[in-house]
Chain A
Amino acid sequence: MNSIMGIAKKDIKILFREKGTVFWTIAFPVMILLLFTAIFGREIPFNANIGVVNYDDDPYGISASVVNGLNNTGFLTVKNFTDENEALEELNATNIRAVLVIPQNFSQNLYTENASVSLILDGTNPDVYRVINDGIKTFFLEFYKDFYNYTYGTNYTEPITIKTEISEIGQQIGYKESIVPGMLTYPLLFSSMVVSTGAIVFEREKGTLKKIRVAPIRPINMLFGKTLAALFQTSISILIMALLAVVLLGPKLNWNVPLLIPIFFLGSMNGIALGLIISCIGRAPQEASNAATTIAVVLQFFTGMYFPIEYLPVYMQQFGRVIPMTYAAQALRDIMIRNATFADLAISMLTLMLSAAFLYGIGVLLYKRWVEK
């Protein structure tokens, strides 16, 4: 019993003497709880951008109040368009998730109980599709109820017709098709970051980093050497995941390998660079490992890997849009679900390239500062 207590006491003492480890031990549950509270602790845990094209010649401001009403639902953020094609382009670029077209005679037809609107939905994300479709139908039902009561003082007879169609840019897909690209983002974030963090920490702990530091090589060579090994390890994870996904789930996806490879490569480079930065900051191996795990777990919420970022509060969605891995996750979806072309992916690729270069720059600076103390 004494020996058991002795070992436990020793480990706890060491834990408290490694300040970084203590920090990440506390930071992990705090950050996770704050995230879950921010994401799921709201009354309306969803917010998606939709486009509205209002063609209605409306002297009474009825269609304008429809737009305002949609904006005030709390789960939709409305972007106004004057041209339907322009709105569809935004839908195609996934900047918005649906386009609502209010026709020219909408207000007048309300009085004749023959009003209708068109709703074009992005079908490539089943969750988002369902929430927006159901939400807008419910909204118009309630709106018409209010309108009818106000106008006639009695209950309504027929609601507004909503002509729903799925956007041409993506077919409506099932959950397994939706989840596979997210699953493939997992190794880009976790494997690459954890592997690269461990790579330098291992050398440092083993003492072999001294051997490398004393050799006539530049810090960037050291980091690139580590990167290549981490890329290899990450590639194995991706390959196994992709094969298992095909075998176990059999999703109907576009496996455009020539486009997937550069995204996997650039995504991994970002994860690896982040891991290298963590390993240069973390003093103790446990600290670096805790930091890598916490950061990876937290970032996954923002990237849309497992659930659409529309479930995040708006400010978190904005944060998600500055994380490189969000672009990798979106690019994988675009390739596998939307059949995106190289040109469609140009912005994502450029973003991933620039962020990887930026993160490597920081990594080199930190490594140099660390080794030349």
Chain B
Amino acid sequence: MTEKMIIEVEGLVKHYGEVKAVDDVSFTVEEGEIFGLLGPNGAGKTTLMEILCCLRRFDSGKVIVHSFDPKKNSLEVRASIGFCPQETLLYDLLNVYENLAFSASLYSLSSKKFKERVEFSSKVLGVGEFLKRRVEQLSGGMKRRANLAASIIHDPSIIILDEPTVGFDPNIKREFWELIRNIKNYGKTVLLSTHDMYEADEICDRVAIMDKGKIVALDKPHILKKTIGGEPLIHVRVKSSQAKKAISILKEYKTSVRDNEIHISVENPWETMTEVSNKLTSQEVLIEKIEIVEPTLEDVFVKLTGRKLTEEAT
């Protein structure tokens, strides 16, 4: 492996009784990238992350984090990781500054370094405006930011985020993605789990798609979409009374109907879209909407597993 690999996992297996939660998983994470684990609930993402954070033992395989073996050098591994789980791990009766101070104490940060890191959190994560407020008085978004700030107060080189935006409304979600990108800009490696395909697509440099404890595909999102998700489709919506006529006009193309829309699969949709539009309008079919839709990671997951990402989500 090259020096750029900051996490190396090889043949990792973890059982919970009879259930194989992680099944022969192998992957590497490069330094400075945002690496996503995408999969439905129960796919083994959290277990995998907890193993990397030394929170769980594993049955077999090899794990190297920042050149350390978690089994032998657990303290070193934990010092190099900032783990931010799904739930907010802050003390409600303490204010944000006190929570950050407690987290800093766990990593034996000097007061000078702590001050620097609080300034960093204020600047990059925007916690400065509510540093002196008790956690119980914060909004959900503020709590998440404070939670992330507490998780990375010790300036770790690897940041592990377990479903960081679950339960967020779209605006806060976008705000949080921006925070993660900001962190990456400071040279940090981010490993995040999500069952949100847009999130994985939006912020991850590479994505490993997990299902039933296995990694079923791993690559850059656009490559996964292109190689597994298939070609872009032309989506056409016409008046429902004209749907049959439209399909008949477009019979020379490979079509399917889903959600009251005609999906046309062609090699070059950008060129074909005008042709389709002209054919329909010339036959007096009123087009309500016509667009080219790129395949999503959801499509990739469906093609790989035959199920939707949300099917097993709770």
Enumerate chain A interface residues (CB-CB to B < 8 A). 206-208, 210-218, 371-373
Partner-binding segment picked from B29-37, B75-83, B185-193, B269-277 = B75-83
Residue of B56, B79, B91, B106 near A373 (CB, 8 A) is B56
How far apart are the CA atoms of A212 and B91 in the complex, in Å? 12
Known contacts A207-B87, A211-B106; A216/B55 CB under 8 A: no
Q: Is the CB of A216 within 8 A of B87?
A: no
* Least CB distance, A201 to chain B, in whole angstroms: 15
* A-B interface pairs (CB < 8 A), number: 43
Residue of A208, A213, A216 near B75 (CB, 8 A) is A216
- In the complex, what residue of chain B is closest to A217 when comparing beta carbons? B106
Q: Is the CB of B78 within 8 A of A208?
A: no
Known contacts A216-B75, A216-B76; A211/B107 CB under 8 A: no
* Least CB distance, B68 to chain A, in whole angstroms: 11
Tell me which residues across on chain A come within 8 A of B81, comparing CB atoms. 214
Q: Is the CB of A212 within 8 A of B106?
A: yes
How far apart are the CA atoms of A372 and B103 in the complex, in Å? 21
Question: Is B89 an interface residue, CB under 8 A from the partner?
Answer: yes
How far apart are the CA atoms of A318 and B215 in the complex, in Å? 62
* Least CB distance, B152 to chain A, in whole angstroms: 12
Q: Is the CB of A372 within 8 A of B106?
A: no
Known contacts A207-B87, A208-B91; A214/B107 CB under 8 A: no
Question: Is B85 an interface residue, CB under 8 A from the partner?
Answer: yes
17 additional contacts (CB under 8 A) given A215-B78, A215-B107, A218-B75 = A207-B87, A208-B91, A210-B83, A210-B85, A210-B89, A211-B103, A211-B106, A211-B151, A214-B53, A214-B55, A214-B83, A216-B75, A216-B76, A216-B107, A217-B106, A371-B55, A372-B57
Question: Is B138 an interface residue, CB under 8 A from the partner?
Answer: no
Q: Which 3 A-B pairs have the closest CB atoms?
A: A215-B106, A216-B79, A216-B78
Q: Is the CB of B78 within 8 A of A373?
A: no
Residue of B54, B74, B89 near A211 (CB, 8 A) is B89
Count B interface residues, CB 8 Å: 22
Tell me which residues across on chain B come within 8 A of A215, comparing CB atoms. 78, 103, 106-107
Proximity bits, B38-58, A CB within 8 Å = 1, else 0: 000000000000000111110
- In the complex, what residue of chain A is closest to B73 when comparing beta carbons? A216
How far apart are the CA atoms of A210 and B106 in the complex, in Å? 12
How far apart are the CA atoms of A214 and B147 in the complex, in Å? 14
How far apart are the CA atoms of A216 and B89 in the complex, in Å? 17
Tell me which residues across on chain B come within 8 A of A207, comparing CB atoms. 85, 87, 89
How far apart are the CA atoms of A213 and B77 in the complex, in Å? 12
Tell me which residues across on chain A come within 8 A of B78, comparing CB atoms. 214-216
A207, A208, A211, A217 interface centre (most CB from chain B within 10 Å): A211
* Least CB distance, A205 to chain B, in whole angstroms: 12
Tell me which residues across on chain B come within 8 A of A211, comparing CB atoms. 89, 103, 106, 150-151
How far apart are the CA atoms of A214 and B56 in the complex, in Å? 10
* Least CB distance, A6 to chain B, in whole angstroms: 23
- In the complex, what residue of chain B is closest to A371 when comparing beta carbons? B55
How far apart are the CA atoms of A217 and B108 in the complex, in Å? 9
Show 29 residue pairs from A and B whose CB-CB distance is below 8 angstroms, ordered by the A residue.
A206-B89, A207-B85, A207-B89, A208-B89, A208-B91, A210-B83, A210-B85, A210-B89, A211-B150, A212-B106, A213-B55, A214-B53, A214-B54, A214-B78, A214-B81, A214-B83, A215-B78, A215-B103, A215-B106, A215-B107, A216-B74, A216-B75, A216-B106, A216-B107, A217-B75, A217-B106, A218-B75, A371-B55, A372-B57
Enumerate chain B interface residues (CB-CB to A < 8 A). 53-57, 74-76, 78-79, 81, 83, 85, 87, 89-91, 103, 106-107, 150-151
- In the complex, what residue of chain A is closest to B85 when comparing beta carbons? A210
How far apart are the CA atoms of A211 and B75 in the complex, in Å? 14
How far apart are the CA atoms of A218 and B78 in the complex, in Å? 11
How far apart are the CA atoms of A217 and B107 in the complex, in Å? 8
* Least CB distance, B173 to chain A, in whole angstroms: 22
- In the complex, what residue of chain B is closest to A209 when comparing beta carbons? B89
How far apart are the CA atoms of A217 and B89 in the complex, in Å? 17
How far apart are the CA atoms of A217 and B87 in the complex, in Å? 21
How far apart are the CA atoms of A213 and B103 in the complex, in Å? 12
* Least CB distance, B63 to chain A, in whole angstroms: 15
How far apart are the CA atoms of A208 and B93 in the complex, in Å? 13
Residue of A208, A212, A218, A373 near B57 (CB, 8 A) is A373
Tell me which residues across on chain A come within 8 A of B74, comparing CB atoms. 216
- In the complex, what residue of chain B is closest to A202 when comparing beta carbons? B91
* Least CB distance, A136 to chain B, in whole angstroms: 60
Tell me which residues across on chain B come within 8 A of A206, comparing CB atoms. 89, 91
How far apart are the CA atoms of A212 and B150 in the complex, in Å? 12
* Least CB distance, B136 to chain A, in whole angstroms: 12
* Least CB distance, B255 to chain A, in whole angstroms: 51
- In the complex, what residue of chain B is closest to A215 when comparing beta carbons? B106
How far apart are the CA atoms of A207 and B55 in the complex, in Å? 13
Tell me which residues across on chain B come within 8 A of A208, comparing CB atoms. 89-91
- In the complex, what residue of chain A is closest to B160 when comparing beta carbons? A214
Tell me which residues across on chain B come within 8 A of A210, comparing CB atoms. 55, 83, 85, 89
Tell me which residues across on chain A come within 8 A of B54, comparing CB atoms. 214
How far apart are the CA atoms of A300 and B150 in the complex, in Å? 43
Tell me which residues across on chain A come within 8 A of B151, comparing CB atoms. 211
A213, A214, A372 interface centre (most CB from chain B within 10 Å): A214
Tell me which residues across on chain B come within 8 A of A218, comparing CB atoms. 75
How far apart are the CA atoms of A167 and B220 in the complex, in Å? 89
Tell me which residues across on chain A come within 8 A of B76, comparing CB atoms. 216
How far apart are the CA atoms of A216 and B85 in the complex, in Å? 17
* Least CB distance, B22 to chain A, in whole angstroms: 15
* Least CB distance, A3 to chain B, in whole angstroms: 26
* Least CB distance, B161 to chain A, in whole angstroms: 13
Tell me which residues across on chain B come within 8 A of A217, comparing CB atoms. 75, 106
Tell me which residues across on chain B come within 8 A of A371, comparing CB atoms. 55
